[in-house]
Amino acid sequence: MNPVLSVIIPTYNCESFLDECLGSVLWQLPPDHELIIVDDGSTDRTVSQLTAYDGKSDNLTIVCCEHKGAAGARNTGLKMAKGEYLTFLDCDDCIRDGFFAESRKLLKMDADLYIFGIERVLMNGNSEFWTVKDKVYPDISAFADDYIRKRNLMIYSNCNKFYKRKIIEEFGICFDEDIEFGEDRLFNFRYIAGCDRIVTSSLVMLRYIQRCVGSMSAKHVPDFFERIIMLHKAKTECLLALSKGTSADERKDFVVCDLCREIENTIERFGINPQEIEENLHGINELVFGSSAPEIKAWYDIPEVRRDELEKLKKRIIGTIEV
């Protein structure tokens, strides 16, 4: 009999927190779940540490591959997975205590997608909880309608979700190995388009641990704004196509608010990655002002001006959107 759930963990140079991550899974992993670890060509002691786990459990599989990036490692895990459902975990995060016992009760609902909460552990030890409400969406249109109206259903991460393997195989969904940022979002947009019944749960799945200031979320991403606009378009096109119950005004407001939020997100990165100012400011200024003139170069640095200009942008473009 195939496992109920496959847990896929890509590892790469994570010797300092590997035991914490794997320990959080293995002690509570039910016999009818499987754990697949895919090492992505680590050059530190990660592989030697993994050797100590090999053979400790019948439902544990470890494979070592050449370095291809997180997307390639996840795709390797997808090909190996035998579970009815599958999920992902990053090697520097942990599954919350008791999660598997609690989550299996929800699997009786036979949903195509389950979305859970996340505990974000800050460097000072404090925690923030990103959660969704307990709700059953009977079809994908109801989910898309709710997202367009509320925009808080946590659709970006791969690590707070259960996916149905049958849907992934039926639609040939995989991670794009040619991009380094946003491949998780694109995977989710493609997957959601193949869903029907979706369940959101207030159950918190993982501890997303901030290990250092220079984490992947703060890492320099070349041409970030160009990439984020591509993801914005993919997201809005996906959800607008799936939504059947929203009005034209709701749909337009969704598009412009999401765009303005991505502009804000890009600007907020400038403090950590000042090199992104020169890379991205031209594109932002062209969008906001229709110009990249030097005299408007520092508008982003005054919060009140930024809010005013983004409100003007919303009013200017909302009448141009066809939905």
| CA within 13 Å, CB half, 36 | 22
* Phi/psi at 78 (5° precision): -60, -40
Write out residues in the chain with pLDDT < 70, as ranges: 212-218, 292-297
Model confidence pLDDT, tens digit, residues 222-241: 999 999 999 999 999 999 99
**Secondary structure of residue 228 in the 3-state scheme:** helix
The pLDDT value recorded for residue 218 is: 64
Closest Cα to residue 88, out of 27, 157, 28?
157
**Secondary structure of residue 54 in the 3-state scheme:** coil
User: Which residues lie across from 64 on neighbouring strands?
Assistant: 39
Q: What are 190's two structure tokens?
A: 């493609």
pTM > 0.85: yes
Closest Cα to residue 208, out of 219, 217, 198?
217
The pLDDT value recorded for residue 216 is: 47
The pLDDT value recorded for residue 266 is: 92
The pLDDT value recorded for residue 64 is: 96
Separation CA 249–CA 246 (nearest Å): 8
Separation CA 17–CA 23 (nearest Å): 10
Separation CA 192–CA 230 (nearest Å): 18
Separation CA 291–CA 288 (nearest Å): 8
**Residue 298 CA: distances (Å) to CA of 39, 270, 278, 301, 314:** 44, 11, 11, 6, 20
The pLDDT value recorded for residue 319 is: 75
Residue that is written with structure tokens 């990103």 in the block: 130
List the Cα angle 288/291/294 in 5-degree steps. Answer: 110
Region of 247 on the Ramachandran plot (φ > 0 left; ψ -120 to 50 alpha; else beta) = beta
Q: What are 6's two structure tokens?
A: 């496959």
* Range list for CATH 3.90.550.10 in the chain: 5-217
Q: Which CATH number fits domain 5-217: 3.90.550.10, 3.30.450.20, 3.40.1710.10, 3.30.565.10?
A: 3.90.550.10
List the Cα angle 88/143/256 in 5-degree steps. Answer: 95
pLDDT > 70 in the chain, percent: 95
Identify whether the C-beta of residue 250 lies closer than 8 Å to the C-beta of residue 148: yes
Residue that is written with structure tokens 């950590």 in the block: 272
Report DSSP state, residue 103: H
Identify whether the C-beta of residue 21 lies closer than 8 Å to the C-beta of residue 9: yes
